[in-house]
Chains A and B, each alone.
Chain A
């Protein structure tokens, strides 16, 4: 009995220690970046251009936001409806298994390969040049597996009894999908999108091979653009001051938090409009 208690205690300490170290590391990194970066983040830094005497990051912020928006515009609907097809419509069998296997493989491919593919296919063959469009299409391919897999999982957790109830009232499959299934799955879909946003914002290799590195404010989706992560990579490479790197990093972190917050809010509003969601 006594030995058992001691082991229990040791395991508990060990678990707490692991959790503590992880949390502490994370907080330390964040605090470190913020404390070194934020003091250099001025209004001017955020709103001025880059190049010549200017050292601002305004163009990079715009490019990053555009790239995130454009990528999700492509990836979210395709991913969600692919998942809907796989879960709700496709007959289980070989084809579905092949698709599932393919998505799994895709999610394991290093991003640089997506970058090379995007460079050859979108930039050269489709002749979209280095542009936000090429970048977004490439990144969309990259995050698609995550969106499909996660959405599939949440769709499977929507209780069959909801769907039965809807169909028994005379609703057809499509009506049930939009009124019952998707609203119930929305929180999970949102998680998938937020994970994707993280990957898009943090990606470098696949971005500069397709969207380029030009540090101007993009005029349209056919303009090339430099995202914050690519910018960080570039200035770190070119031996700019560390202060500037940390300032960019701090902005990157804040931007990710803001985008996630906005996505979460948008999702909640959408859920309320569709009438699904949690008990209140």
Chain B
């Protein structure tokens, strides 16, 4: 198993709130890793340390090591733009920009200097196909992205991330704002994307974690309680708290 992203003894503080405590978790390349745990346990916080979105929050302090292909992403001279290009993020609430579908997908490539119209069209098409949205929107690429349904918007956001050519996709409860059918489509999509991309997904839905992930990590109050093969963790949890959580006794 090859590790692409890895956290070692990672600690994070929001001012004096110790939100992540000594997290050590390798993320295997090409697999889906699910992060589960009760509300407020630090799943989103951990996810955001992986592409340094925490930099935007005032008063955040990070100690420990996060590496991408062995390089410390918190090193002072590390290229954050390059990092976010390689490690893309899909948010809980679909957040398409208030512009056309085309411009949404082309937004990332344009940031990174792609100006050629033909190249942009190709990237937009392949990304929308990659996100299983092409057939639904190919006739209205110039329409506002806000006119799409919630599920379509979320797939558009995935397309937007795919367009910059990432290696890792971070997804923070990407289906929690969607209906069951849209959720199903996103899950199918994740199934399709895995292998080509490494996916780290936060979810509150145990069945979802069971269905789509290869590995699962259980967080509790800022601690990483245990992690491993999804089947193993669900069938024979090592820790009492994990067992209680996955059987729905608290959370």
Which A residues form the contact surface with B (CB < 8 A)? 91, 159, 161-162, 164-172, 175, 179-180, 183-184, 275-280
Query: Is the CB of B103 closer than 8 A to any CB of chain A?
Result: yes
Query: Is the CB of B56 closer than 8 A to any CB of chain A?
Result: yes
Query: Is the CB of B93 closer than 8 A to any CB of chain A?
Result: yes
Residue contact A277 to B111, C-beta cutoff 8 Å: no
How far is A175 from B81 in the complex, measured between Cα atoms in Å?
Answer: 12
Query: Is the CB of B147 closer than 8 A to any CB of chain A?
Result: yes
B contact residues around A276 at 8 Å (CB): 97-99
With A170-B81, A170-B108 as known contacts, state yes or no: A180 contacts B97, CB within 8 Å. yes
B contact residues around A280 at 8 Å (CB): 143-144, 147
Closest 10 CB pairs of A and B: A161-B95, A279-B144, A279-B146, A170-B84, A168-B89, A169-B108, A275-B99, A170-B81, A165-B95, A170-B85
Residue contact A164 to B91, C-beta cutoff 8 Å: yes
Within 8 A of A (CB), among B75-96: 81-82, 84-85, 88-89, 91, 93, 95-96
Query: Is the CB of B199 closer than 8 A to any CB of chain A?
Result: no
Residue contact B147 to A164, C-beta cutoff 8 Å: no
* Smallest beta-carbon distance A176→chain B, Å: 9
Residue contact B146 to A167, C-beta cutoff 8 Å: no
Nearest CB in chain A to that of B161: its residue: A169
Residue contact B84 to A168, C-beta cutoff 8 Å: yes
Which B residues form the contact surface with A (CB < 8 A)? 51, 53, 56, 58, 81-82, 84-85, 88-89, 91, 93, 95-100, 103, 107-108, 111-112, 143-144, 146-147, 157, 160-161, 164
How far is A27 from B147 in the complex, measured between Cα atoms in Å?
Answer: 38
B contact residues around A167 at 8 Å (CB): 53, 56, 84
Nearest CB in chain B to that of A280: its residue: B144
With A159-B95, A184-B98, A277-B98 as known contacts, state yes or no: A166 contacts B107, CB within 8 Å. yes
With A170-B164, A279-B144 as known contacts, state yes or no: A165 contacts B97, CB within 8 Å. yes
B contact residues around A161 at 8 Å (CB): 91, 93, 95
Residue contact A164 to B53, C-beta cutoff 8 Å: yes
How far is A172 from B95 in the complex, measured between Cα atoms in Å?
Answer: 18
A contact residues around B108 at 8 Å (CB): 169-170
Partner of A279, one of B91, B98, B111, B157: B98
* Smallest beta-carbon distance B73→chain A, Å: 13
Interface centre among B58, B100, B108, B112 (most CB of A within 10 A): B108
How far is A180 from B103 in the complex, measured between Cα atoms in Å?
Answer: 12
B contact residues around A180 at 8 Å (CB): 97
Residue contact A275 to B103, C-beta cutoff 8 Å: yes
Nearest CB in chain A to that of B99: its residue: A275
B contact residues around A169 at 8 Å (CB): 84-85, 88, 107-108, 111, 160-161, 164
Interface centre among B51, B89, B95, B161 (most CB of A within 10 A): B95
A contact residues around B81 at 8 Å (CB): 170, 172
* Smallest beta-carbon distance A167→chain B, Å: 7
* Smallest beta-carbon distance B56→chain A, Å: 7
With A170-B81, A280-B143 as known contacts, state yes or no: A164 contacts B88, CB within 8 Å. no
* Smallest beta-carbon distance B51→chain A, Å: 7
B contact residues around A91 at 8 Å (CB): 58
Return 13 A-B CB contacts under 8 Å, by A number.
Answer: A164-B95, A165-B160, A166-B97, A168-B51, A168-B88, A168-B161, A169-B108, A169-B111, A170-B81, A170-B164, A171-B107, A276-B99, A279-B144
* Smallest beta-carbon distance B48→chain A, Å: 9
With A275-B103, A279-B146, A280-B144 as known contacts, state yes or no: A170 contacts B97, CB within 8 Å. no
Residue contact A275 to B88, C-beta cutoff 8 Å: no
A contact residues around B88 at 8 Å (CB): 168-169
Q: For the A-B complex with A170-B164, A183-B98, A275-B100 known, give 17 more contacts whose Cβ atoms are closer than 8 Å.
A: A161-B93, A164-B95, A165-B91, A165-B95, A165-B97, A167-B84, A168-B91, A168-B161, A169-B108, A169-B111, A169-B164, A170-B111, A171-B111, A277-B98, A278-B98, A280-B144, A280-B147
